[in-house]
Structure 1
Amino acid sequence: MKKSFLPLLLLLTLFTRPAFAQIDTVDNIPMKDKLYGLSKFWSEASQNFAYFDHAKINWDSTYQAFIPQMLATKSTWEYYELMERFCALLKDGHTDLGFPEKLLTHKSRYKWIFIENFNKRFIVTDIPVQYKEKVPLGSEVISVDGMPAKEYAEKKLIPYISSSTEHVLWNRAAAMMFYGTDSSKVFHLKLRSPKGKLFDYDYQFHTYGTKWVRRNGNTPWKLLDFNMIDGIAHVKLNSFGDEKIIDEFKKVLPQLYAAKGVILDIRDNGGGDSGIGAEILKYFTDEKVLVGSAWKTRDNVAAYKAWGIYQLRDTTKNRKLSAWQQKVIASAKNDYWYQGDTMTFNNDIKEQKIKTPLIVLASNNTASAAEDFLIILSTLKGRATVMGQRSYGSTGQPMPLALPALSQSRICTKRDTYPDGRDFVGIGVIPDMEIERTPDDVINGKDGVLQRALKEINKKAK
């Protein structure tokens, strides 16, 4: 069951990587195209979106309120920003808008500060070397242009972010703290150093790169990364988007069989194909069938809606509704669902199984099909301990959508739950041992979660 997570990550990358293109804010597509884009997105979401109960809005009246706002836009960029705000009201990480890539110019601008979220506090985790004395790593952003940092995020950033969960919403707000198109704009920051000293710092984008205190030298990305730590196998599964990872995993099986324990690390896994993760889990259990998430999707049957409207007009008091009447009334209320099969995977591998202690590391970045991996694991009672932070909290099947001036956009059409019907979308899969990231660990290059996992394996292996 394929569930690509790339469009969302691509959009986020545009605003978090050190260098990105400047944006043309003059281009202006015809108003009829803007109104069509707004209407098309509203219409498709009305029929197919899976999480209106999470959004908690009246979608029709919201659409009506956005029409005059769209009529007031004067550029393609303003159209895109308004569409972002409209989309963000659905509060879903698998429902998002494609970026207007034609607005990207050939000029680059470079980010000269990295800020991360720690419990709604915005902490500087990297800075150009020439500013390391002025802006100590670990300093907290207190205000931006005179506005308290939390309020700034809530008013200037969060209204444009599509997210199912609070933790991801604030992580992304920190990453795109200086979202905007004006390369010459100076942001006036007030910060508090780790020692408690308040100081000012004026920030702006630059037209050239810099040398960083922490993140100089690029470590090549690998589909699977493996190392042995004191007899314990640490296997990083960085994506389920390519079946080659199964072959990469099989190559390290001899070391896994010999290890006193295995740590599967999916903290940076943004998803892909749920079946790929299931294939890897088969090596850790004798269960004949692996059980994953249950799912449903909205079912739009036009005749049911028509019949349901007439049923809703019947004002007979205390009437008993038949199953058919309940069904068509639900359809008229756009609340009629097709119940899909619970995901299952036959464990048909013939190779030796790995019996040693297993720990799985997860984080806020563990998303989509990687969350399905955690759901399968939750049904293998006692086989593994999950450690780290709660997961991204968004999965499902996005429906591609073409909108004027935008690259491929998406609407989530499939609602996933635990096999017993409990929600994890909008919450995140909560680990057995929840361990928060700390600014000190990030800044000093420590991996506190991995260290705790190694200790836990050693305890279990005794």
Structure 2
Amino acid sequence: MKQTVLNALHKVATGLAPAVLTVAWAAPALSQPQETATTDTEIPFTQADRMMIAAQINHVVKRYFAHWEGLPPDYDWDARFADYLKEALAAPDRRSFSIATMKLIASLENGHSSFSDELLDDEPTLPFHARPIEGKWMVTSSFIAEVSPGDVITTVDGVPIDRWLEPSRAIVAQSDARAKNRLLLLQGRALWPQTFTLGLASGKTLTIDRAAPRGERRPARKPFEVETTVRPDGVVVIRIPSFDDMKFEAAAIAAVKTYAGAPLILFDVRGNGGGTTPETLLRVIMDRPYAGTIVNTPMTIAEQDAHASFSSAAPIWQMIRYGPDRTQPAADAIKGPMAVLMDGGCGSACEDFVIRFQSGKRGPLIGEPTFGSTGQPYFVQWPQWKMSFRISTKREFLPDGRPFEGVGVAPDIAVPQRVADLTASGDPQLDRAIAAWRAAKP
């Protein structure tokens, strides 16, 4: 798709978003199963309920989804929705319906658009987590003694792991393969069997039962609080695990003020999944003007859509474009060297933070590219079944217009995690980051 911008308003030429919502299907035969209440819910889930959910999804996606230009030029939502509708109405049970719906939303390839059903969320997770590191599927944490951090997974039920995971990719909604790999075992677990055989690079083969008792997590999870560490060399590391509660931002601000004047304040935002952009923290630390993102968001004008509905030409979809906003530094902003350590787990509001930190030249971004997704989702909930879905309503760009969704924010100094880090004591990646900062100092 090609986008033309004219002042604050620009149009996206696409055949994806018709002006008039039309949902058509054949009436289900009377012999179609009418699902009754189960232990999962006291509310029956019928064919009519499936149709209602499908219709709402179709309407909301066409009205609010902001990322059509990020999809392949031949992507056809209407065709995919028609195929989905056949599958969803013929699904033998609610679980199969939800998996089909996850697959539909995942086809939008957006990390802030997804479908959730607590029926699936309540199923046992895998007793370990793994993601690709240096080209290998490395176990990064484990709740069972049979599998340890640092183990390399080669096969599942005798199938090479990459081939085994391929069906799961179809139901995991993320913007690029790197982000998808990071969450593939967590979000794609609905397609894993209850019991399976795991093959490790060591030659070890073991049977995993997802329902079996579990021990303590290894390595132990860090407290979900802001942690401030003063290293022997005076470097202050402020680990911020999230921005989804104001307390995290407040604690980080307090730490910055306490240790103003340190030889380096390093913000560790590895694994910070976002929340709300930490504007107050930015005002405290930014010592020169900084820019935010450029934002595209859909705009619907009913009369224009009505005119378009009489035309056989491809519909015109209007988008509002605004930004980047520019913020002046506060007179009392804290001075001194600062840097950020980030990874692929830094997403959404965390990316808002690092983008502004970088645009204001406050210090280097160190580590790995970020997650590459933001979007202020529009939520739809069906509380009677504990289902929900969300659709991203804005597509953001770096201040200079370059994309970061599906790409991530690139570090100024690359310091990737290594396989050996998983079994080493301490935090080798953090040590390398500080050493790299010193080496890069003018």
- Per the TM superposition, whether the score is higher than 0.5 is yes
- Among 354, 360, 365, the alignment partner of 2:345 is 365
Structure 2: how far apart are the matches of 1:341 and 1:201? 53
- Among 118, 121, 126, the alignment partner of 1:100 is 118
Aligned length in residues: 400
- Among 238, 245, 256, the alignment partner of 1:242 is 245
Structure 2: how far apart are the matches of 1:203 and 1:177? 17
Unaligned runs of 5+ in 1: 1-22, 314-331
Give SS of 1:342's match.
coil
Give SS of 2:236's match.
strand
Superposed counterparts of 1:39-438, under 5 Å: 39-56=55-72, 57-101=75-119, 109=124, 111-118=126-133, 121-127=136-142, 130-131=145-146, 137-155=149-167, 157-175=168-186, 178-180=189-191, 185-193=194-202, 198-211=203-216, 214-216=218-220, 219-222=222-225, 224-229=226-231, 230-274=233-277, 276=278, 278-287=279-288, 289-308=289-308, 333-348=315-330, 350-351=331-332, 353-355=334-336, 357-381=337-361, 383-403=362-382, 405-438=385-418
- CA change 1:130–1:95 in 2 (3 A) is closer
For residues 265-297 of structure 1, the C-alpha deviation after alignment (integer angstroms, 9 at most, x for no partner) is: 1112211222x2x3223333332x431001121
Structure 1: how far apart are the matches of 2:245 and 2:213? 35
Structure 2: how far apart are the matches of 1:435 and 1:211? 30
2:45 equivalent in structure 1:
29
**1:138 aligned partner, one-letter code:** G
- CA change 1:25–1:149 in 2 (3 A) is farther
Residue 151 of structure 1 and its aligned partner are, at CA, apart by 0.8
Higher RCO structure, 1 or 2 (CA under 8 Å, sep 6+): 1
For residues 378-407 of structure 1, the C-alpha deviation after alignment (integer angstroms, 9 at most, x for no partner) is: 3223x3111111111001111111247343
The answer to whether the Cα contact below 8 Å between 1:165 and 1:428 also exists between their aligned partners in 2 is no
Residue 425 of structure 1 and its aligned partner are, at CA, apart by 0.5
Structure 1: how far apart are the matches of 2:390 and 2:419? 34
Structure 1: how far apart are the matches of 2:434 and 2:267? 12
**1:225 aligned partner, one-letter code:** E
Structure 2: how far apart are the matches of 1:457 and 1:297? 37
Residue 375 of structure 1 and its aligned partner are, at CA, apart by 1.6
The answer to whether the Cα contact below 8 Å between 2:143 and 2:214 also exists between their aligned partners in 1 is no
**1:279 aligned partner, one-letter code:** T
- CA change 1:173–1:267 in 2 (3 A) is same
Structure 1: how far apart are the matches of 2:241 and 2:145? 33
- CA change 1:126–1:293 in 2 (3 A) is closer
For residues 311-360 of structure 1, the C-alpha deviation after alignment (integer angstroms, 9 at most, x for no partner) is: 766xxxxxxxxxxxxxxxxxx62431112343344433x435212x2211
- CA change 1:284–1:461 in 2 (3 A) is farther
Residue 412 of structure 1 and its aligned partner are, at CA, apart by 0.4
- CA change 1:426–1:114 in 2 (3 A) is closer
Give the RMSD, CA atoms, in angstroms.
2.9
- CA change 1:130–1:270 in 2 (3 A) is closer
The answer to whether the Cα contact below 8 Å between 1:117 and 1:170 also exists between their aligned partners in 2 is yes
Give SS of 1:394's match.
coil
- CA change 1:127–1:221 in 2 (3 A) is closer
**1:192 aligned partner, one-letter code:** A
The answer to whether the Cα contact below 8 Å between 1:298 and 1:338 also exists between their aligned partners in 2 is yes
The answer to whether the Cα contact below 8 Å between 2:285 and 2:333 also exists between their aligned partners in 1 is no
- CA change 1:448–1:169 in 2 (3 A) is same
Give SS of 1:273's match.
coil
Give SS of 2:170's match.
helix
Structure 2: how far apart are the matches of 1:113 and 1:249? 31
**1:304 aligned partner, one-letter code:** Q
Structure 2: how far apart are the matches of 1:26 and 1:151? 38
The answer to whether the Cα contact below 8 Å between 2:413 and 2:436 also exists between their aligned partners in 1 is no
- CA change 1:80–1:386 in 2 (3 A) is same
Superposed counterparts of 1:438-457, under 5 Å: 438-457=418-437
Residue 255 of structure 1 and its aligned partner are, at CA, apart by 4.0
1:10 equivalent in structure 2:
none
2:31 equivalent in structure 1:
none
- CA change 1:200–1:178 in 2 (3 A) is farther
Give SS of 2:183's match.
helix
The answer to whether the Cα contact below 8 Å between 2:102 and 2:116 also exists between their aligned partners in 1 is no
**1:388 aligned partner, one-letter code:** G
Give SS of 2:317's match.
coil
Structure 2: how far apart are the matches of 1:375 and 1:235? 18
Give SS of 1:71's match.
helix
Higher helix share: 1
Unaligned runs of 5+ in 2: 1-38
**1:220 aligned partner, one-letter code:** P
Structure 1: how far apart are the matches of 2:241 and 2:141? 23
**1:297 aligned partner, one-letter code:** T
- CA change 1:286–1:399 in 2 (3 A) is same
The answer to whether the Cα contact below 8 Å between 1:292 and 1:376 also exists between their aligned partners in 2 is yes
**1:351 aligned partner, one-letter code:** D
